[in-house]
């Protein structure tokens, strides 16, 4: 059974090097997933891949069916999830082009379906989320970056915003005061749903721009983001190649 899933974000709608063995459409009680699960072999290891925004990159962050995605992965037998996500840099060391392995989350999203524990409960359920990311998987990513000589920030709080618009400078200033090192739109509720289903989950963030009001303080240009996404995702592929033997 395939135990590892990779959820690809913006710029990672397919996995180069994945020898596809089958595609699986999973029907879930929560509606449709972002697409069929792609099963295959990546650098000698079985993995399942899912493109979070859909294979044609058409689903915006607030419209992603996070519950269906996470439920489908668990249903197919997955135990560990590596989530890849493009983010903007807030903290000084979070410059575009680097990778970051966050260790904490602050959730600023709203009105997303963010729990499996709401209907038909025998008892009200609260999961522990003190450490939102699985430390063993995080260390695997960190060691992989070190051994592949990839420049990576090894900690940092991921601030999850609602999107799809980018933030104002004042919002980023507030997030910085809160302790956020990076900002993205898809980190939540994905991480919390994974925890609810006992999946080991960690994120490899790809810094693709300075957050609003950071860097030179100018407006954020999509062309610049696109260029950083491409180089960043090439780094993610290198990282995956390095960690697969240890998975
Ligand atoms: N803000 C929110 N999400 C993002 C950003 C950003 O600056 N860059 C990439 N995803």
Q: What is the pLDDT of residues 193-221, one digit of tens each?
A: 999 999 999 999 999 999 999 999 899 99
| Closest residue by Cα to residue 2 from 74, 73, 78 | 78
- Weakest-pLDDT range from 138-147, 166-175, 229-238: 229-238
Model confidence pLDDT, tens digit, residues 4-32: 999 998 888 888 889 999 999 999 999 99
Task: Pick the range with the lowest mean pLDDT from 12-16, 44-48, 89-93.
Answer: 12-16
Instruction: Say if residues 243 and 198 touch (Cβ distance below 8 Å).
Output: no
Nearest to 205 by CA among 84, 57, 96, 92: 84
Res 201: pLDDT: 98
Contact 161, 42 (CB under 8 A): no
Residue of the CA atom closest to atom 2 of ligand 1? 184
Q: Is the pLDDT of residue 2 over 80?
A: no
Residue tagged 């998975």 (tokens) = 247
For residues 176-185, give the mean pLDDT: 98
Average pLDDT over residues 63-80: 98
Contacts (Cβ under 8 Å, ≥6 apart) of 96: 89, 207, 208, 209, 210, 215, 224, 228
Distance CA 120, CA 10 (A): 35
pTM exceeding 0.85: yes
CATH of domain 4-246: 3.40.50.1580
Q: Ligand 1 pocket test: which of 10, 162, 163, 184 has the largest number of ligand atoms within 8 Å of its C-beta?
A: 184
Domain boundaries, the chain: 4-246
Residue nearest to atom 9 of ligand 1 (CA): 87
Q: Is the pLDDT of residue 128 over 80?
A: yes
For residue 85, give the ligand 1 atom closest to its CA: 10
Rounded to 5 degrees, what angle do the CA atoms 127, 76, 41 make? 120
Report the atom number in ligand 1 closest to the C-alpha of 161.
2
Question: Distance from the CA of 24 to the center of ligand 1, in angstroms?
Answer: 30
Share in percent of the chain as helix, strand, coil (round to 5): 30, 25, 45
Mean pLDDT in residue range 74-95:
97
Per-residue pLDDT tens digits for 155-168: 999 999 999 999 99
Protein residues with CB under 6 Å of any ligand 1 atom: 86-88, 161, 166-167, 183-185, 208-209, 211
Which residue out of 11, 83, 84, 87 has the highest number of ligand 1 atoms within 8 Å of its CB and is therefore the one to mutate?
Answer: 87
Taking the CA of residue 61 as reference, the ligand 1 atom at the shortest distance is 3
Mutate to test the pocket of ligand 1, among 9, 64, 88, 176 (most ligand atoms within 8 A of CB): 88
CB 25 within 8 A of CB 72: no
pLDDT at residue 116, rounded to an integer: 97
Position 1 pLDDT exceeds 70 = no
pLDDT at 12: 84
């Amino acid at each position: 059974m395939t135990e590892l899933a990779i959820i690809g974000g913006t710029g990672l709608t397919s996995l180069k090097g994945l020898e596809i063995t089958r595609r699986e459409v999973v029907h879930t009680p929560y509606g449709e997933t972002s697409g069929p699960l792609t099963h295959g072999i990546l650098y000698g290891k079985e993995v399942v891949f899912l493109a979070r925004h859909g294979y044609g990159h058409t689903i915006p962050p607030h419209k992603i069916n996070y519950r269906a995605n996470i439920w489908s992965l668990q249903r197919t037998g997955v135990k560990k999830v590596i989530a890849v996500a493009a983010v903007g840099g807030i903290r000084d060391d979070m410059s575009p082009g680097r990778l970051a392995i966050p260790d904490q989350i602050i959730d600023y999203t709203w009105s997303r379906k963010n729990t499996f524990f709401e209907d038909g409960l025998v008892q009200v359920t609260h999961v522990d989320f003190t450490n939102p990311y699985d430390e063993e998987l995080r260390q695997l990513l960190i060691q992989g970056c070190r051994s592949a000589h990839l420049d990576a920030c090894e900690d940092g709080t991921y601030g999850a915003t609602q999107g799809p618009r980018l933030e104002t400078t004042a919002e980023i200033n507030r997030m910085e005061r809160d302790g956020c090192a990076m900002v993205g739109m898809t980190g939540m509720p994905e991480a919390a749903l994974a925890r609810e289903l006992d999946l080991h989950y960690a994120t490899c963030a790809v810094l693709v721009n300075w957050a609003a009001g950071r860097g030179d303080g100018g407006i954020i240009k999509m062309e610049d983001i696109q260029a950083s996404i491409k180089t960043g995702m090439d780094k993610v592929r290198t990282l995956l190649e390095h960690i697969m033997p240890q998975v």
